[in-house]
Amino acid sequence: MKFLIAGLGNMDIDYFGTRHNVGFDVVDQIATKENLKWDSGRYVHKCEFKHKGKTILLIKPTTYMNLSGKALKYWMEAEKISIQNVLVVLDDLNLEFGKIRMKADGSDGGHNGLKDIQLMLGTNKYPRLRIGIGNNFHKGGQVNFVLGKWSEKENQILQDIISKSAEACLSFCSIGLSHSMNTFNSFQVKLKE
């Protein structure tokens, strides 16, 4: 049984530590915990490991966010991984910062990575883990907010969110989508006053 966890982000160093790259941060956390080294593959950086009898392939697309679907589709086909064994990890400004949500399907919510995945896979019915980044920006400030660095205040609880998201990914691979949704969708950590 093989699973694919795709963390979404942009590979350019300018994007590291930004809200839009939190998907990369989550798969990096898993790789660090498992003592894995990233290898270069077609359209991705990747690594593979065993967890509770399952083989898990982690990928970080190198295609830039807007072409994430190209990388995901290629590796699903190359590794013969079915869509229900794929989990896409991404930032979501429609979700409050401090919350995470696992879902079986849904709209792209204006997220360019999800738009491309939906286009390439021909469906919006694939599991995803949305990590709330909130929408604390003024009109016209969305791009700068999404591509901006985390605030000092956000950084105080960010590691908790990334760790819990990494746990949710491994749970998805071991106990399945619905049990993982029940376990992790109530997670919330509040910003300290």
Q: Residue 190 has what DSSP assignment?
A: P
User: Is 20 an annotated catalytic residue?
Assistant: yes
CA dist 39 to 59, 120, 186, Å? 10, 24, 34
What gap in Å lies between CA 116 and CA 90, rounded to an integer? 13
What gap in Å lies between CA 72 and CA 116, rounded to an integer? 10
Asked if 75 contacts 4 with a C-beta cutoff of 8 angstroms, the reply is yes
Q: Active-site residue among 20, 45, 51, 138? A: 20
Comparing CA positions, the residue from 139, 105, 136 lying closest to residue 121 is 105
Comparing CA positions, the residue from 139, 136, 88, 85 lying closest to residue 111 is 88
Active site residues: 20
